[in-house]
């Protein structure tokens, strides 16, 4: 069984969209998505510097666009083959919008338009107080969680494989760097706010309004939620979870537990890949992984699909 996964914020790097523009149809697709999002995705994905694309309102649409472009490049007929051949989809944080489009819950256009509104709302919420996030690597998980609680920090991402992401104010994060949990390292992340915490509550209200008129469908591919790692059967339920997700913790550890329960044999991370495959290599021994970082990885990715995805069905079937 093959799963497709989509990374979250912080995975973007300057120029990461550039090689994808050489593929047929990609420029036109990005132009369409730029129009619906009000953001020049080609410019920001090819020419903008690291600080510019760190902006939440820019980074999030870029990530969803790159994830969709790279996923669709894997298949001759993505809309037919993804539901028929992929065992499940999941995304980390904003990657859930990518997964929602891949699963058919939202159209590509609605996913890109919504993620732009999400990014703007979260950036506005982040501007109220100086906040951020830091990865805590290693240490005993229970001790790490107790230490974060002591400092007033929120475990915003519980990623498994020995990684918990703490979120809170700049002062709280400084205290964490000065007083690390036993046997743990602390690494500040390139994000602009304390995402998936109470600091994002204002963004939830804006997203609730933004999704009211969306056309929503039930998933055509099992869609795993960051809330609890479980597959979501209903489109409206999936969208409700997407809205509330911005102020709730990301439980990627539970998503990976569900991968194990499903009997997943291969995990393919769409562009800009690397983070989730790294976690999977440590938490899912025996599962083959591939990070689709650029078109240079497409041949290897297609070989993985041929080996682990459900067989392609003929038109007669």
For the segment 61-103, what is each residue's pLDDT rounded down to a tens digit? 999 999 999 999 999 999 999 999 999 999 999 999 999 999 9
For the segment 224-233, what is each residue's pLDDT rounded down to a tens digit? 999 999 999 9
Query: Environment class of residue 17 by beta-carbon count within 10 Å: exposed (0-12), middle (13-18) or buried (19+)?
Result: buried
223-224 and 184-188 beta bridge pairing: unpaired
Is residue 191 very low, low, confident or very high in pLDDT (cuts 50, 70, 90)?
Answer: confident
Is residue 313 very low, low, confident or very high in pLDDT (cuts 50, 70, 90)?
Answer: low
For the segment 202-219, what is each residue's pLDDT rounded down to a tens digit? 999 999 999 999 999 999
Whether residue 254 has pLDDT greater than 50: yes
Whether residue 47 has pLDDT greater than 70: yes
Whether residue 291 has pLDDT greater than 70: yes
Share of the chain above pLDDT 90, in %: 94
Catalytic residue positions, numbered: 93, 196
Q: 188 phi and psi, to 5 degrees? A: -60, 145
Whether residue 317 has pLDDT greater than 80: no
pTM, 2 dp: 0.93
């Amino acid at each position: 069984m093959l799963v497709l996964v989509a990374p979250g914020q912080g995975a973007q790097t300057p120029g990461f969209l550039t090689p994808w523009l050489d593929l047929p149809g990609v420029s036109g697709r990005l132009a369409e998505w730029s129009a619906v999002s009000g953001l020049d995705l080609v410019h920001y994905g090819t020419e903008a510097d690291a600080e510019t694309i760190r902006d939440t309102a820019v980074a999030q649409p870029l990530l969803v666009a790159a994830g969709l472009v790279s996923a669709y490049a894997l298949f001759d007929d993505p809309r037919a083959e993804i539901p028929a051949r992929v065992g499940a989809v999941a995304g980390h944080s904003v990657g859930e919008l990518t997964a929602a489009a891949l699963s058919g819950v939202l159209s590509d256009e609605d996913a890109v338009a919504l993620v732009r509104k999400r990014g703007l709302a979260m950036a506005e919420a982040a501007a109220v107080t100086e906040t951020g996030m830091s990865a805590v690597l290693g240490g005993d998980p229970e001790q790490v969680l107790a230490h974060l609680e002591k400092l007033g920090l929120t475990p915003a991402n519980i990623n498994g494989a020995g990684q918990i992401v703490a979120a809170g104010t700049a002062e709280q994060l400084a205290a964490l760097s000065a007083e690390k949990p036993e046997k743990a390292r602390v690494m500040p992340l390139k994000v602009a706010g304390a995402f998936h915490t109470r600091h994002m509550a204002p963004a939830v209200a804006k997203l609730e309004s933004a999704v009211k008129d969306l056309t929503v469908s039930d998933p055509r591919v099992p869609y795993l939620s960051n809330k609890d790692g479980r597959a979501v059967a209903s489109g409206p339920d999936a969208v409700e979870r997407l809205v509330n997700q911005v102020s709730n913790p990301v439980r990627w550890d539970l998503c990976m537990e569900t991968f194990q329960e499903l009997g997943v044999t291969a995990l393919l991370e769409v562009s800009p890949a690397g983070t989730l495959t790294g976690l999977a290599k440590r938490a899912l021994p025996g599962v083959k992984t591939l990070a689709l970082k650029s078109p240079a990885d497409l041949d290897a990715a297609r070989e993985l699909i041929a080996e682990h995805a459900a067989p392609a069905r003929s038109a007669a079937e």
